Structure 1
Amino acid sequence: MKTNFDFLMPSVNFFGAGVIQKIGERAKMLKCQHPLIITDQFLEKMPQGPVAQTIASLTAAGIPYTVYDGVEPNPKIHNIQAASKLYRAASCDSLITIGGGSAHDTGKGTGILLTNGSDISQFAGIEKLTNPLPTLLAVNTTAGTGSELTRHCVITNEATHLKFVIVSWRNMPTVSFNDPLLMLDVPPRMTAATGMDAFVQAIEPYISTNRNPITDGQCLQAIKLIEHSLRTAVADGHNVQARTEMAEAEMLAGMAFNNADLGYVHAMAHQLGGQYDAPHGVCCALLLPTVEEFNLIACPERFVDLAKAMGENVAGLSTRDAAELAIKAMRQLADDVGIPHSIQAIGAKPEDFEMMATNALKDGNAFSNPRKATRQQIVQLFQNAYDAK
């Protein structure tokens, strides 16, 4: 655990029912003259949805805007190229992202192109950006990725099917908005996928080699909230309390991994998502039990803490037996919210495992995993996740 560390997060984070109404006044305070709103077509067309509410707030503040609605899951290079082209054509001066991780990553990627250079792949890795992004306001609509307040930008190269991660403090949005009321209409399947992503993003920083005392507390509280609320949010999407707790958990997990980093689950999930264009949260959930079984021997006491946070009774058990209850609880939560057992469900092919293992070990999330693996061990982890029943 680190005893000397920095702690990064956006300068302002609005949380709670109705905070979306503050975006116009905050944009005006930041001297945004003409923001580009980056979102997807579904949200853009939703009556009284988050885009409509954002536009109403901007209009009330007297701020004109342009909308780019081309965001797609696992955002591609062509998405950010199109958005940056529109930004310049409309003489925009700032960015507002509305959606989940795909919208926020598209916005960050667009900002990188606008201020750092046209070849975004050259910035893959950690702290390679030299120029600040335009002012970025991030309106979050899913309790999942935490991208509205992190330094991570994940883009897929559509030509190679590879995801790459750009990690830089310059990527962090200027302001984030987490309004649980915007999440009431998220479908059960997406609620489950994004919720499991938040769950993984609370677990991996807790066992990360870069963890610190602040992120530890955030992780454990996020896990408790998700264990308490995710099933309810999937079963009853209009349960405001469950949505509020999931939004809080997502923020805590995002803050944690923004500072303590992640591990092999995310490094491997990026390969699955890039290769098969599969939902990121589902990829993470499918890999979680398999990867954490591998990691358990590196820090079993930490897994005992995870088991306790998930409500498991560890009284009278050995450290090893108590730690294994954490893996059991991870599988149970995934089962309860409808996550498949095997990566076969997203079209994974064993012939791709060697290539994906090589790339996973190059992923920026791999370096903070608590147990170091060889390429062949990563191949075996993919195979174990493929054979899971």
Structure 2
Amino acid sequence: MDITSVNYFSEFNCNTEIIMGNHSVQKVSEIIKNGGFSHALVVCDEGIEKAGILDVILQQLNKAYIQGTVFSSVEANPSTLTVEACYKVLQESNADIIIGVGGGSSLDVAKAVSILGTNGGEITDYEGINKVPKRGMPLIAIPTTAGTASEITIFTVITDHDREYKFTVGSRDLSARWAIIDPVLTLSLPPGLTASTGLDALVHAIESYISKKAFMISEVLALKAIELISSSLRTAVHSGDDLNARYNMLYGSLIAGLAFNNTRLGNVHAMSHPLSAKYNVPHGIANSILLPHVMEFNRVANPKKFSDIAIAMGAVSTDEGTELSRSFEAINAVKHLSNDIGIPATFEGYNISEQSINEMANDAMESGNILVNPRKTTKQDLINLFLKCTPTQSIKLPVSN
């Protein structure tokens, strides 16, 4: 990095105590005892209940001799209605600590409810950045997917169905107090979810690495995350009981989260949110399909970093070709990885309409992630990118305000 050519100032934030290791979920009872808590609200989805992971958490509550109330109605792309329902359960239970366990959806709901527990109101009251007056309730975040890194980020993303809009709340006061990273809990994750959440983590790492806000600490974390994820994801998908691959995936997801927590992301996330809000495309799938197309768009803005990505993914070595030629290999490496783990190439099957592409481009332009994307982006650029990965790709839409 040439520090004379940039505003050389950075600030690294992580407000969460991270506990990582096989069977580290056993630390839940210790945290509860040390904090003197008396009642826990456990936030999860039905899959966590069916997989037996909820029983593991409840055993920890019994070990700590406290009561527990379970809210297990979290859906993919959770809505404001789900947050309201969970908050009502929190109020009725008088819980004094929240435990979020599951994928990003469950953790996002747990984080949203934690700030309502101390600030009241509705979650839409805090839409935007730094609008949370007081830190949320004590929260233990336990991921069971290697994807979102919601366990350590300052963001929660919720869908408002009335607006068909996925909005972000971002604040240091939103962070979980503790994150427990236990690879054993991810062993039961099905191949499809392993693939889509794992690619989501790779998107986090890549978008953080090429972000306009990237700096030395975030770059080191992001590049290491790219290396870990790209070398472990195939094994995690096709040999799900490989604990080493699961550990590396969670580690990669975690440090990618530490990176983008400080840099934000880019066009992939700006575009994926309206896809989820309007068509309920799973977040990981939306990001995975968009990634190679957005990389092709962004590559010219910073070929060196794309060369670095190709090397980190093992696609080329430092002495192969030129920096420019290596930059193309980053895109090819992502395409090969996506194909190997069964990620679809387009949004076929979601019945995306021509009109909604224009609307989704409008929504994406409102995202703060557009501002830190390495290549300046217009609405027409976003329309073109949407078209490249939908069955309507031969149609050219007019730009409208």
Seen in structure 2, the aligned counterparts of structure 1 residues 348 and 175 have a Cα distance that, compared at 3 Å, is same
Q: Report the alpha carbon displacement of residue 32 of structure 1 after superposing the two structures with TM.
A: 2.2
- Is 2:49 the counterpart of 1:44? yes
SS in structure 2 of the partner of residue 132 of structure 1: coil
Q: Which residue of 2 aligns with 1:18?
A: 23
How far apart, in 1, do the equivalents of 2:7 and 2:372 lie? 12
1:75-94 equivalences under 5 Å are 75-94=78-97
Pair 1:358-2:362 in alignment: yes
Counterparts of 2:138 and 2:107, CA distance in 1: 13
Kindly indicate whether the alpha-carbon contact (under 8 Å) linking 1:10 and 1:176 is maintained by their aligned counterparts in 2: no
Q: Which residue of 2 aligns with 1:226?
A: 229
Deviation at 1:345, TM superposition (A): 4.1
Cα gap change, 1:2 to 1:257, in 2 (>3 Å):
farther
Partner of 1:248: 251
1:108 aligned to 111, 117, 129, which one?
A: 111
**Partner of residue 334 from structure 2, selected from 330, 337, 359:** 330
Specify whether residues 52 and 342 from structure 1 end up closer, same or farther in structure 2 by C-alpha distance, changes over 3 A only: same
1:339 paired with 2:330, answer no
> Aligned-pair distance for 1:7?
1.6
Distance in 2 of aligned mates of 1:367 and 1:93: 38
3-state SS of 1:159 partner: coil
Aligned mates of 1:318, 1:386 — CA distance in 2: 33
> What CA distance in whole angstroms lies between the structure 2 residues aligned with 1:184 and 1:27?
25
Matched, 1:30 2:32: no
Secondary structure in 1 aligned to 2:390?
helix
Identity %: 37
Q: What is aligned with 2:132? A: 129
Task: Provide the residue aligned with 1:55 in structure 2.
Answer: 58
Q: 1 CA distance for matches of 2:363 and 2:81?
A: 22
Q: Which residue of 1 aligns with 2:300?
A: 297
Contact 1:24–1:63 at 8 Å: present in 2 too?
A: no
How far apart, CA to CA, are the structure 1 residues paired with 2:332 and 2:27? 42
Contact kept, 8 Å, 1:100 with 1:140, in 2: the verdict is: yes
Report if aligned partners of 2:370, 2:377 keep a CA contact under 8 Å in 1. Answer: no
Tell me if 1:165 matches 2:197: no
Specify the code of the residue in structure 2 equivalent to 1:283: A
How far has the Cα of 1:341 moved from its partner? 0.7
SS in 2 for 1:224: helix
1:64 to partner: Cα distance: 1.3
Aligned-residue offset at 1:283 = 0.3
The answer to whether 1:73 aligns with 2:76 is yes
Deviations 1:187-215 (A, max 9, x none): 00000000000000010000001111111
Q: Helix, strand or coil: the match of 1:163? A: strand
Note the C-alpha offset of 1:267: 0.7
Distance, in Å, in 2 between the alignment partners of 1:85 and 1:307 is: 48
Mapped contact 1:165–1:364 kept (Cα < 8 A): no
Render the CA deviation track for 1:29-69: whole Å, top value 9, x for unaligned.
223221211011221243xx322111111211112111111
User: d(CA) in 2 for partners of 1:300 and 1:277?
Assistant: 34
Question: Deviation of residue 244 (structure 1)?
Answer: 0.8
* CA offset digits 1:221-262 (Å, max 9, x no partner): 111111111001110111111111111111111111111110
Gaps of 5+ in 2: 1-5, 395-401
Q: TM-score, normalised by structure 1?
A: 0.96
Which letter does structure 1 place at the counterpart of 2:186? M
Structure 1 residue 2: Cα displacement: 6.1
1:125 and 1:364 in contact (8 A); partners too: no
The total of aligned residue pairs comes to 387
User: SS state of the match for residue 115, structure 1?
Assistant: helix
Query: Which of 169, 172, 177 is 2:180 aligned to?
Result: 177
Contact 2:15–2:172 at 8 Å: present in 1 too? no
Deviation >6 Å, runs of 4+: none
Superposed CA deviations along residues 70-116 of structure 1, whole A, max 9, x for unmatched, are 11110111111011101111111121101010001011111233333
Corresponding residue for residue 399 of structure 2? none
Output the CA distance in 2 between the equivalents of 1:362 and 1:31: 43
Q: 2:80 is aligned with what amino acid?
A: I
Which residue of the partner structure matches residue 7 of structure 1? 12
Distance 2:53 2:99 in 1: 12
TM-score (norm 2): 0.93
Partners of 2:93 and 2:320 in 1: CA distance: 65
Deviations 1:94-150 (A, max 9, x none): 211010100010111112333334232232221111111101110110001000110
